[in-house]
Structure 1
Amino acid sequence: MNDYRLTVAGLGPGDAGLITRETWAQIERAEQIVLRTRIHPSVSALDDVQISYETYDPLYEEMGDFDALYAAIVTDLCTRVRTGSVLYLVPGSPHVAERTVQLLRPAAEREGIPLDILSGMSFLDPLFAAVGIDPVNGLSILDALNEAQIRAVPTQDRIITQIYSRAIASDVKLLLMEHCDDAQEVLYLHHLSLPEQDVRRIPLYALDRQEDVDHLTSIFVPYMPTFWENP
């Protein structure tokens, strides 16, 4: 059995200054770096110092759906690490909303691959600051692609993330309208932690009319309309 290891780390919520020192130290000494995607603002920090890496972006074009994509990434990582240590970098934190890491844990255990998953800052920290809430009071964090969860009757405030296109925004809007008035205000959260961060109140019906929707877009849906009355 070789001594090669698979290490997973996060690139933070967007601002390169939020990459942890531990992760950056791993980046500087890694033998082989693979990114889930280079479509993330922090990747420019690697380019600035000429860090070499590969990405799985071509698989996004080849695979028919996300399940197949994530399975292919996990298979490739488990193959790569048999010939050398690998640093796998994901947007945000590997512990938050990262399906490939969820799949990688049991796969590495089955195949006897040493796996280290580093802590990192997720999009949630700047989100809590932007919205001005403490999640200890109750909060649901939902994936925009999880129709069943979004359609469910709400019992607390909700964050819906991964609203990466206007088509997805339209789907989310229609699902929310099953329980929410179409004029209910939500917080539109765009490019959190970046210089161009934008947090704005919009009526639900206008969600898919926002022209700047992209992979760094989320919304906050308050459970009670009285949320807006709080100081």
Structure 2
Amino acid sequence: MAEYKLTVAGLGPGDAGLITRATWARIEAAQHIILRTRIHPTVEVLDVAGISYETYDHLYEEADDFDELYASIVDDLMARARTMDVLYLVPGSPFVAERTVRLLRERTTEAGVPLEILPAMSFLEPLFAALGLDPVNGLSIVDAMDEEAVAASPAQDLIITQLYSRELASDLKILLMEHFPDTQEVIYLHHLALPDERVQRIPLFELDWQEDIDHLTTLFIPYTPGFWENG
């Protein structure tokens, strides 16, 4: 009986030039490619190159919540991997803020399905470049939808990722205002490493005023002794 393999690779932070050579070689050689979503700037180079692929975008409309969405994606990938080699492509890096990959690692281990995950550049490298930041002194990275993690008290700089809508930004702002004054300076990062990149210092109360918030938006809050401790 033939043994098939599931391979996961990342499309990088958005600039096509940041896709690794190893990943591009796999893309060119793959017979069956499926994207978590085509809503990512790098997907355009797949179209230009005439690469055929499927996506899971339809599941975003059908699922009631993200837990159901990710479970459905993983179920489908596991089913496909029993009958064919599959290359699953995700935005950024498979190792950074990618829930489906964490679930796949668990499921493939349990089922004995071969899994290979290729390294890729995440949004963090362009963020470090934009801020001139060396994370060696410590850094907290949390998902904007994880209220418990956001409300924790990091004694270091804080990155809040997956800030994909103004509605979510509004909820996040209210939560952060329990710890920070309304005028606390935060750094708004949008479309890093892309031509329309925006890195701007804004007061916290203006967070949800930003009209260009989308899935490539991140917030950076430099560590401010005193505020978290008094929250």
Of 171-180 and 87-96, deviating more is 171-180
CA distance in 1, matches of 2:182, 2:154: 15
Aligned partner of 1:148 in structure 2 is 148
CA distance in 2, matches of 1:172, 1:155: 19
Q: Provide, for residues 154-177 of structure 1, a one-character-per-residue CA deviation record: whole Å limited to 9, x for no partner.
A: 311100010000001011111111
Displaced runs of 4 or more, over 6 A: none
CA distance in 1, matches of 2:71, 2:224: 39
User: How far is 1:138 from its partner?
Assistant: 1.1
Aligned partner of 1:83 in structure 2 is 83
User: What amino acid sits opposite 2:170 in the alignment?
Assistant: S
Aligned partner of 2:71 in structure 1 is 71
User: How far is 1:111 from its partner?
Assistant: 1.2
Of 103-112 and 201-210, deviating more is 103-112
1:27 is the counterpart of 2:27: yes
User: How far is 1:82 from its partner?
Assistant: 1.2
1:92 is the counterpart of 2:92: yes
Aligned partner of 1:185 in structure 2 is 185
Q: Provide, for residues 152-201 of structure 1, a one-character-per-residue CA deviation record: whole Å limited to 9, x for no partner.
A: 22311100010000001011111111111110110000000101111000
CA distance in 2, matches of 1:149, 1:7: 30
User: How far is 1:3 from its partner?
Assistant: 2.2
Aligned partner of 1:228 in structure 2 is none
User: How far is 1:31 from its partner?
Assistant: 1.1
Aligned partner of 1:166 in structure 2 is 166
CA distance in 2, matches of 1:174, 1:2: 54
Aligned partner of 1:49 in structure 2 is 49
Alignment identity in percent?
68
CA distance in 1, matches of 2:205, 2:5: 48
User: How far is 1:103 from its partner?
Assistant: 0.3
User: How far is 1:105 from its partner?
Assistant: 0.4
Aligned partner of 2:229 in structure 1 is none
Q: Provide, for residues 114-155 of structure 1, a one-character-per-residue CA deviation record: whole Å limited to 9, x for no partner.
A: 000000000000001111111111110010000001112231
User: How far is 1:51 from its partner?
Assistant: 0.4
Aligned partner of 2:228 in structure 1 is none
CA distance in 2, matches of 1:160, 1:106: 26
SS in 2 for 1:25: helix
User: What amino acid sits opposite 2:158 in the alignment?
Assistant: R
CA distance in 2, matches of 1:57, 1:116: 23
If the length of structure 1 is used for normalisation, what is the TM-score? 0.96
CA distance in 1, matches of 2:65, 2:224: 36
CA distance in 1, matches of 2:189, 2:209: 14
Aligned partner of 1:221 in structure 2 is 221
User: What amino acid sits opposite 1:158 in the alignment?
Assistant: L
User: How far is 1:83 from its partner?
Assistant: 1.2
Q: CA RMSD in A?
A: 0.9
User: How far is 1:91 from its partner?
Assistant: 0.1
